[in-house]
Structure 1
Amino acid sequence: MIFDAFFKAIAQTGDPRFRRVLALGIGLTLALLVAAYACFLVLIQWLVGPDATVPVLGEVRWLDDLMSIGSLIFMLILSVFLMVPVASAITSMFLDEVAQAVEDKHFPHLPHVRKAPLWESAKDTVNFLGVLITANVLALILYVIFPPAAVFIFWGMNGFLLGREYFTLAAARRIGLPEAKKLRRKHAGTIWMAGTLMAMPLSIPLINLVIPILGAATFTHIFHALNRRG
């Protein structure tokens, strides 16, 4: 079911509406990554000054490096970690549009739903980002204690959190938040697996740019499949 949902999402990339949202999502993802990276460099500059010598990288001038090829490579590497909160932010912005495009194509009999108010979506996003960032900061301890398992901890933890958020948002727009939570608890294993399979490509630079939007479409399909099961 999970792979079927994902392949349906990929197949819809030819849909002009879906392609527009995908392009917007990729553009915003890049913008958020650059902004996050710039904030990271500003923080480094504040901690160590405008010039510093870093092992492997050598002397770092933050403003110059921000525009350099070396910095671009570093940003791609850093995107492995930054893409998780970025993916969370992207879904709250575009899930309604993505889900509606999916439903118009695959579930045309369904009535349109009211789009959630912007302030409500923003509040939910901020709350979830807080949980996501806190969990990832705490997970650094586990990465140090269990280095060989770090990547699996990263995938499993973020898969659980992202799957939970994506599914809840996709379900709540149709059946309301209380019922969405019930359905999520009932199918927690499937949702966690789907979230983990989403978290894995999020850790691959460049490929991770398309995952937030494809993930929103995939979880829309997953919701409808699980909702039919009850």
Structure 2
Amino acid sequence: MILTDVLRALAQFTDRRFRGVLWLGVGLSVLLLVALYAGLLALVGLFAPDTVSLPLIGEVAWIDDALGWGSLLLMLGLSVFLMLPVASMMSGFFLESVAEAVEARHYPGLPPARPVPLADQIRDTVAFLAVLVLVNVAAFAASLAFPPAAPFLFYGVNGWLLGREYFQVAAMRREGRAGARAMRKRHPLRIWGAGCLMAVPLTVPVVNLLVPVLGAATFTHLYHRLSGRKVTRRR
């Protein structure tokens, strides 16, 4: 059933309204990653020497260029981890538009949702980012102690974190904060499973740019399914 939610979300990428939000999300995600990469290059330029003298070789003048290209490869690898906070940060800002497009196509006739105040979105996002960083640091330390468990820890921990965040934001639109929390506690395994599915594409460079919008759509479907609503119309 969770896979059905994902497939419905993917099928709606052909929706013109949906694509507008998708390209906006991809564009902002790219801008954030580029800004982080620019900061990394600035650090390389600040600390890397222009030339280095090596025994028996003499002066080598291409060290800073090598470090620059190396930083690009490093950034591609880091994007796997950087997209975790980017995806979670984007969820609150894009979910309203994505959820409206999903509901207009699949759940017509619903009353207007209660918009989440921007101040609450920012507060929840900052709090979640802090939890995400702390939990991932702990998971990384555990992975160093027992390397074979690293993939399971990464997907399991981040599946739980992403599922918790995306479902809370999706459900809050119609249930309020307390109601969303109560639903989350009633369906922890399903929410965790959907979060794990979102964590998988986050580890694929370029594909991970689609996750903020895909996750918002998937968890909108999951929320309505757990609420007992059925898809009533497809265009």
TM-score, normalised by the number of residues in structure 1: 0.87
Q: CA RMSD in A?
A: 2.2
Letter in 2 for 1:36: L
Name the CA distance, whole Å, in 1 between partners of 2:49 and 2:132: 32
Give the aligned partner of residue 136 of structure 1. Answer: 136
- Is 1:169 matched with 2:173? no
Deviation, structure 1 residue 122: 1.0
Give the aligned partner of residue 188 of structure 1. Answer: 188
Give the aligned partner of residue 29 of structure 2. Answer: 29
Larger Rg: 2
* 1:44–1:134 Cα change, 3 Å: farther
Give the aligned partner of residue 207 of structure 1. Answer: 207
Name the CA distance, whole Å, in 2 between partners of 1:71 and 1:44: 8
Name the CA distance, whole Å, in 2 between partners of 1:130 and 1:122: 12
* 1:61–1:131 Cα change, 3 Å: farther
Could you tell me the percent identity over the aligned residues? 51
Name the CA distance, whole Å, in 1 between partners of 2:189 and 2:44: 39
Deviation, structure 1 residue 113: 1.8
Unpaired runs of 5+ in structure 1? none
Letter in 2 for 1:180: A
Give the aligned partner of residue 217 of structure 1. Answer: 217
Give the aligned partner of residue 59 of structure 2. Answer: none
* 1:226–1:205 Cα change, 3 Å: same
* 1:124–1:61 Cα change, 3 Å: farther
Name the CA distance, whole Å, in 1 between partners of 2:145 and 2:187: 31
What per-residue deviation string (whole Å, max 9, x for no partner) do you get for residues 140-174 of structure 1?
21121111221221111011001000001000111
Matches within 5 A, 1:66-105: 68=69, 71-105=71-105
* 1:120–1:156 Cα change, 3 Å: same
Give the aligned partner of residue 157 of structure 2. Answer: 157
Name the CA distance, whole Å, in 2 between partners of 1:115 and 1:216: 15
* 1:202–1:182 Cα change, 3 Å: same
Name the CA distance, whole Å, in 2 between partners of 1:153 and 1:217: 25
Deviation, structure 1 residue 42: 4.8
Name the CA distance, whole Å, in 1 between partners of 2:226 and 2:49: 54
Name the CA distance, whole Å, in 1 between partners of 2:39 and 2:224: 39
What per-residue deviation string (whole Å, max 9, x for no partner) do you get for residues 192-211 of structure 1?
01101110110111111111
TM-score, normalised by the number of residues in structure 2: 0.86
SS at the partner of 2:205? coil
Unpaired runs of 5+ in structure 2? 53-61, 230-235
SS at the partner of 2:227? helix
What per-residue deviation string (whole Å, max 9, x for no partner) do you get for residues 30-62 of structure 1?
11122233344556677xx23499xxxx93469
Name the CA distance, whole Å, in 2 between partners of 1:40 and 1:182: 42
Name the CA distance, whole Å, in 2 between partners of 1:193 and 1:78: 24
Letter in 1 for 2:127: N
- The total of aligned residue pairs comes to 219
- Is 1:59 matched with 2:63? yes
Name the CA distance, whole Å, in 1 between partners of 2:88 and 2:45: 27
Give the aligned partner of residue 50 of structure 1. Answer: 48
Give the aligned partner of residue 6 of structure 1. Answer: 6
SS at the partner of 1:176? helix
8 Å Cα contact 2:41-2:71 kept in structure 1: no
